[in-house]
Each structure stands twice: as structure tokens, then as C-alpha cells.
Structure 1
Amino acid sequence: MFVSNAPSGDPPAAERAVATINDQPSLLSPRRCPMSRARPINCIIPPYILDRLLDSEDREVRQAAMDTLLVTARLRGERAVRASFAGAAAAGNGRRTIFDCEQGESLPNAVLARPEDGPEVADPSINRAFDALGLTRDFYKEVLQRNSVDGKGMRLDGYVHFGFQVNNAFWDGRQMLFGDGDGRKFKNLTGSLEVIAHELTHGVTDNTSEFEYHNQPGALNESMSDVFGSLVKQWSLKQTAEEADWLIGADVWTPGVGGDALRSMKDPGHAFDNPQFGKDPQPDRMSKFIHLPDTKRGDFGGVHFNSGIPNKAFFLTAARIGGFAWEAAGTIWYESLKASSAEDQFQDFAGTTFQKAAELFGAGSPEQSAVLAAWQEVEVPVRGVPTGVARVRTSSANGNGGAGREDGLAALARQIGALNDKLTGLAKDMAALRGAK
């Protein structure tokens, strides 16, 4: 038994059966090791959503959920095996190739559907996957000067119509796999740009911080994918932070229900609320942090739950800065991702974003002040910043303007500037301690 803020109760028989499968070591996989834990199979649909589908009164929906969970377990085992072998990703200057699995699960048997220089085809799933891979690649290249997901021109392969009515989209470390959905609770998974960008960003994280996929590092891993998935969509639509909806998966989940999504970065915990799935369980601050066991059944310590906390911090940062979120907030988060370590906790990453904001925009800048205010609001303190600074932040950043507000901002800027040298020294000391482990 574990302590959790998540919904409680005995799971039904089908759910317990799947949990048993998922919690057993794969017959193909090696014993758990840092590499296999750090690089799992990544998928967009949280396990708590699929669990609820197992309770559906619709037999076909239940079967699709069971099949999706079994496919996920198999892919996880296959990736664990690959992780035990050294090998470089295939270079290809970010070239896209889309294959059609024709509802099969064997990638070698998939049919070439559209290469990089190929024309648009009749199948909209193929074209959507092709376009979304290109938009994500171009975003990273044009906005963040990154050459594909690995920074070295990794080719982008996508497999559509993967399996029969599979309710998920996957990044398996080498390529993207798209299920068609069951047609009732999920539409075709190529129908959401931010979903595809989310999955490809797991590849970026694999090749930068390598956030371990459990507990707080795992929640940061998931949050990075939501952040840049949303930014790719905003960039493609040329939306400001104020204009964006900050929703993940609204275009592919519950097609018959309007106004809901898998997650809301703007308002974690309020992405959905309906009889089938209950209420969105994501927390938006540390006092609501959900404690789950570090197992497959426990979502590896609640990575899909607690990602709501850093998600909200990013939204607040972008909203306070204003304008296009990818220009300032996105750059701060990307440079912080590159500077982070695999075991970093929320507080570590908060401190890194605070430092990067100073390096990029200046100590005491509005951008750095926005970063500090955001993390304070989700109750993640920045190490070395005394509570007095937080009080000044509250009175200034949330005020109604006027001379008092300006005085507060000026005081905040002075205090932040005085702290930066101390924080830089602290960061060096922490880096030295990590190196000594």
C-alpha cells in the first residue's frame, strides 16, 4: 500500500491483470539498470487514462485499451534490449520518411508511404505525420539552432496505422509510431501537432539532460515534452502566450466532448472532468504533489501526474514575459535542459532556469524576475533566494501597476542582482560534488 493523493479504490479484474503484466520484468529485457530506466518507451497517453478505459461499458473500447497496454509493454521490453547495446542513431540531415504499418505491429514489414522528397498522398494520416515531423524539426532548427532531435541530423522516421485501434503515439528512441485510436475515445493520433512534437522532444531530452524517467526527474522529462510540444504548435500558428490554449491532446482525445484535453499547462487539474475519466488529477503546486511508487503501475513515481507543477511554472513564466513564448521563456527552458543532469529535482531545474535567465537576459531582468515569480507560485523555491525576495515578487508582479509596483520591481532587481554571484558559486560547488560521486 502506498500514500497518494490520486483516486483510490480496488482496481477491477482487467486492470489488475494489466498491472500484473506491466509490473513484471520483460522476458526480453535485462535487469533494470540506469540506462534502461533513463530511456523507456515514451507515449503520450497517461496510464491512468488507459486504466479508466478498461472500465468502459463499451466492449470494443475495453479491448482497445487492453491491446494498447500490451503493445506498450512489448515496446518497452524491446527498447530495454536495444539500450543494452551501443549504437549511434542514423544520421540523415533530419530527413523525414513515413511508413504505413497497415494496422500491423511489425515495423520491418511496413510499407514506404512518403519520403522527404515525395509528393502529398491520398492518406491524410501520412500527410499529417509528415508535416508535423517537419514542423517540429524546423522549430528546433530555426528557433533553437538544433539539428534534429539528437543535434546531429538524426533522420525522422514515422510509422502510421500502427496496430489495430491503438490508443497511443510512441517514441521508441529511434522513430515515431502512431496508433489510429479506437474512434470513440481517441481519434487518429496523427491529428495533434503538439502530441507529435511532445514525443519527438523525448528524443531531445534523451540527447541532452537524459532526465531519468522516474519521480521528479521523470516529471521534468514529461514536462519538457509538453513545453516544447506546445511551443511547436504556438510557433506554427504564430500565437502569443496570451492567444495560445496551452492544451495537450485536445484534438485527438474524446472527439465527442468539447473543451477538454489530456493536460492543461495553464491550469493543471482542470483539463477534464467527466463521468468516464473523472477529474484531471494533475497538481499545480508542490503542496499538492502526488506520491506514487516508482513502478510501472505507479507511473514511475507519478511522472504524468506531477509534470503539472513544472508545466504551470513554464506557463506562468511565459505569461508574465508576454509575446511569443518561444522567444524568451522557451530559450531559457531549452538552455536549462541542456545544462541539466539526469537526476535533477524540481528545485535543481528551477535554479538552472533562474541562472540561465540571468545569462541570457541579465541579472534582475524582467525575464529573470518572471522565472523567479513562476517557481515561487508553484511552491518550488530557488536555492539561495531568501523569502524576502519572494515577498517583493508577490507585491510587484501581481500588483496593479503604479509607482509602488515600479519601486517593488526595482527592489527585486537589485536583490536578484546581488544574489547572482552567490548562486553562480553555489552551482559550481554542486557541480563539483556531483563529479566527486
Structure 2
Amino acid sequence: MCDHDPMQCIIPPHMLKVLQMRGDAKVAKMATDMLAQNAKVRDARQEFMSTRMVPDGSTPESAFLTPALAETCETAVCKREIYDGQEKAGLPGKLARKEGDGETSDPTVNEAYDGAGAVFDLYAKEFGRNSLDGNGMKLVATVHHRRKYNNAFWNGEQMAYGDGDGVIFVKFTELSVIAHEMSHGVVQFSGGLRYTGQSGALNESFADCFGAMIQQYRLGQESCEGDWLIGKGILGPDIRGVALRSMKAPGTAYSDATLGQDPQPYHMDFYVDTTDDNGGVHINSGIPNHAFYLYCQYLGGNSWQKAGQVWYQALQRLNNPLATFHDWAAQTVDAALRLYGVGALEVNLLRRSWKLVGISI
């Protein structure tokens, strides 16, 4: 499963494979079915992406937004459409709420609507980006996707959220999940990071960084106040854990007889060399995640004000879909130099943050 642009799901394949091995017959079948379904949607997403590529395989320049530091995108207008999948496989489903409509009686519809708005607001107001593609893309999402579906995903053009089975996972319209998955769209339309190995882990990490950031933005929290958890509250009632991932302490998000132990490393000394999970994209993302967390703690204040600007600007200028962790670290240092100047504290603290996870720049 190391294809160029597989579907990006919040529940990683390595977790599903653990459920195949450790779960009872019902759980094992669910995991097997999920892995097969993910492969089908992955293939559909690859076909979709191939129609958006120019001959050299890159994303058209029209998909890019000129980088801007903390400039509000005055022309940005949020356009949301939330659909009820009615527990069926087809997308998008029945329109349940569109931009400007009042709340519905379905809290899951409202959560998806509000979450999409929070994502749009951060990118527009703090990064000058007009929607996920930078060109005012409509934000489409489907809730109640399939029956007891244990996942949420971005398929290249829209979001889909399952309700969970109520045992292993509960509903997936938690804000950090919404923000994470939608941020995969930002990566997609900003040149992309190939979804395998270290570049794939960087793709996942960028989505995690902005997932945590948007959660803090919505709550008005400073970096020191955030919990830095991705997927908090989506684990089932009998699962021992607090979230899918912890940026503050990678490897500690869950420890459960069925789900196993959170495998994320926090330092290059513990990098996981594997062919599973597209080369460990959801696993090794813990390393750049922790570097971002450390940088935010060093800087203080709000994560989106300085650290977030560095990460966003680095993505816009990266132009390397096969970037390694070292490549990305160097790109973030270059972004910090552009934003804050040679000898700036922001640059020195960034170098220190990368060094603390085993990457020297």
C-alpha cells in the first residue's frame, strides 16, 4: 500500500491490522472489510488526482496561493455543503445543510458544518488562504457514511465521516479529526507530499499540526494550554487511551489489549523502518509532530502566530514531493529566516527543536 496518492484516512492501516490480529471474529472482520474498502477509495482518489495533474505529474499552478504572512484573505467566502450519507456507500448523499442555513436537528451535521467553518476561518484569517485549494473551493462533507463505519477520510474532493461502531470508535466529527483530514486537502493543493515513507509522514504531520492548531484556535488557547491530541474522544468507551496520537508525547496516546500500543516515536533514534502503513506514514509522523510541539512551547503564545506561519510558508515553497525529514526541517529554517531574519530567536529556537528530535540543521 505505497501508492502515489492513497486515500487519507484518520484510522491508519497499521491500527486496522492490529485489530485483525487481536480482535474477536466480529472486530477482525470489520478491520478486514475496512482495509479492502480503503483500497477501493484509494484507487478512486488516484484516478481523480490524475485528471488534475499537468503532464509532468505536478499540480497546476492555478491551485497554489501566493504565500502571505498573517494577511486576511478579504475575498474569501466560505461555501459549505453537508450531506447525510444515510449509512450508504454512495457519495455525497442527501443535502442536509448548506452555507447560511440554520442548525438542523442532527448534531452530527452541525458538527461537520461548524468544523468546516473553523478550518476555513483559520486558513483565511491567519494565512490568507481562500479555502483548501486557495481558490474558493466548496467545502463538501458527508456524515453518516456507511453503517457503523470506523473511519473518516478526505478523498481528494470531499470529506466523509463514519459514526463508528460504538465499541472500538465513536463518531468521527471531532474538530481535530475534521481539521486534520481537511488539511490533507491543503497539502494536496500546495504541491503535495508523496504519501509514502518520510514524505508521507510529513504529509500526515502537517495535517496533525494544523489539526491541533485549529482546535486551539477555536478554543482561544495558547500553545501551553492545548492538549496536543489528535482524535481525542473518538476511542470507544472500553478502549484504554485518550486519542489516536499525542504530539506532546508521541507513543502514549493509547495502550490497549485490542488496539495495542501507540507506536509513534518522538526521536530519530526510534524511527520505525517498516513497509506497513505506506512506510510508516502515521507512525514516524510523531517525530516532526514533536518538533512542532517543542517549537510552539519555546515560542509561547498562539501556535498559529509564529510556528504555524513558518510551517505554512515552508509548505508553499517546498516544491519537493519526496522531501525527507531533513529536507523539511531545512525548509522550515529557510522559512523562519525569511520571516524573522538571520540571528532571530525564532530561528535559533527552531534549530533547537529539530535537534531535540534528532535532526540537526
Contact 1:217 1:342 in 2 (8 A): yes
Q: Name 1:274's counterpart in structure 2.
A: 256
Does 2:216 correspond to 1:234? yes
CA shift, 1:248, in A, is 0.6
1:148-227 correspondence runs (5 A): 148-190=131-173, 192-227=174-209
Does 2:288 correspond to 1:304? no
1:62-120 Cα distance to aligned partner (Å, 9 max, x none) = 33323322221111111122233248999x94400001110000115x11100112111
Contact 1:93 1:152 in 2 (8 A): no
Q: Which of the residues 354, 373, 376 maps onto 2:352?
A: 373
Q: Name 1:363's counterpart in structure 2.
A: 342
What is the alpha-carbon distance in structure 1 between the residues aligned to residue 48 and residue 261 of structure 2? Answer: 37
Q: Which of the residues 306, 310, 313 maps onto 1:328?
A: 306
1:379-398 correspondence runs (5 A): 379-382=358-361
Alignment-mate amino acid for residue 161 of structure 2: F
SS of residue matched to 1:158: strand
Alignment-mate amino acid for residue 28 of structure 2: R
Alignment-mate amino acid for residue 126 of structure 2: V
More helix by share: 1
What TM-score do you get using the length of structure 1 for normalisation? 0.75
Does 2:73 correspond to 1:101? no
Contact 2:7 2:154 in 1 (8 A): yes
SS of residue matched to 1:267: coil
Contact 2:239 2:256 in 1 (8 A): no
Contact 1:61 1:182 in 2 (8 A): no
SS of residue matched to 1:97: strand
Greater RCO (Cα-Cα under 8 Å, separation 6 or more): 2
What is the alpha-carbon distance in structure 2 between the residues aligned to residue 259 and residue 196 of structure 1? Answer: 20
What is the alpha-carbon distance in structure 2 between the residues aligned to residue 61 and residue 129 of structure 1? Answer: 27
What is the alpha-carbon distance in structure 2 between the residues aligned to residue 170 and residue 300 of structure 1? Answer: 16
What is the alpha-carbon distance in structure 2 between the residues aligned to residue 345 and residue 354 of structure 1? Answer: 14
Greater shift in the superposed pair: 167-176 or 53-62: 53-62
How many aligned residue pairs are there? 341
CA shift, 1:52, in A, is 2.2
CA shift, 1:369, in A, is 1.4
Alignment-mate amino acid for residue 331 of structure 2: T
Alignment-mate amino acid for residue 300 of structure 1: N
1:327-386 Cα distance to aligned partner (Å, 9 max, x none) = 11011110011111212111111111112112212222221111000000111111xxxx
What is the alpha-carbon distance in structure 1 between the residues aligned to residue 188 and residue 261 of structure 2? Answer: 31
Q: Name 2:233's counterpart in structure 1.
A: 251
Contact 1:160 1:179 in 2 (8 A): yes
Does 2:242 correspond to 1:260? yes
Unaligned runs of 5+ residues in structure 2 are 54-59, 64-75
Q: Name 2:330's counterpart in structure 1.
A: 351
SS of residue matched to 1:369: helix
Contact 1:247 1:261 in 2 (8 A): yes
1:68-87 correspondence runs (5 A): 68-86=34-52
Q: Which of the residues 90, 95, 98 maps onto 1:115?
A: 98
Q: Name 1:400's counterpart in structure 2.
A: none
| Structure exhibiting the larger radius of gyration computed from Cα positions | 1
Alignment-mate amino acid for residue 49 of structure 2: A
SS of residue matched to 2:316: helix
1:259-295 Cα distance to aligned partner (Å, 9 max, x none) = 52111101111111222222211111111111112xx
Alignment-mate amino acid for residue 148 of structure 2: Q
Contact 1:211 1:344 in 2 (8 A): yes
Q: Which of the residues 33, 41, 61 maps onto 2:7?
A: 41
What is the alpha-carbon distance in structure 1 between the residues aligned to residue 81 and residue 237 of structure 2? Answer: 28
Alignment-mate amino acid for residue 91 of structure 2: L
CA shift, 1:130, in A, is 0.5
Q: Name 2:71's counterpart in structure 1.
A: none
Q: Name 1:387's counterpart in structure 2.
A: none
SS of residue matched to 1:99: strand
CA shift, 1:46, in A, is 1.3
Contact 1:97 1:115 in 2 (8 A): yes
Q: 1:255 to 1:290 in 2, by over 3 A?
A: same
Contact 1:64 1:182 in 2 (8 A): no
Alignment-mate amino acid for residue 40 of structure 2: R
Over the residues paired in the alignment, what is the CA RMSD in angstroms? Answer: 1.9
Contact 1:98 1:113 in 2 (8 A): yes
1:146-196 Cα distance to aligned partner (Å, 9 max, x none) = 100000000000001111111100100000000111111111111x10101
SS of residue matched to 1:305: coil
CA shift, 1:40, in A, is 2.1
Alignment-mate amino acid for residue 279 of structure 2: G
Contact 2:132 2:182 in 1 (8 A): yes
CA shift, 1:257, in A, is 4.5
Contact 2:233 2:242 in 1 (8 A): no
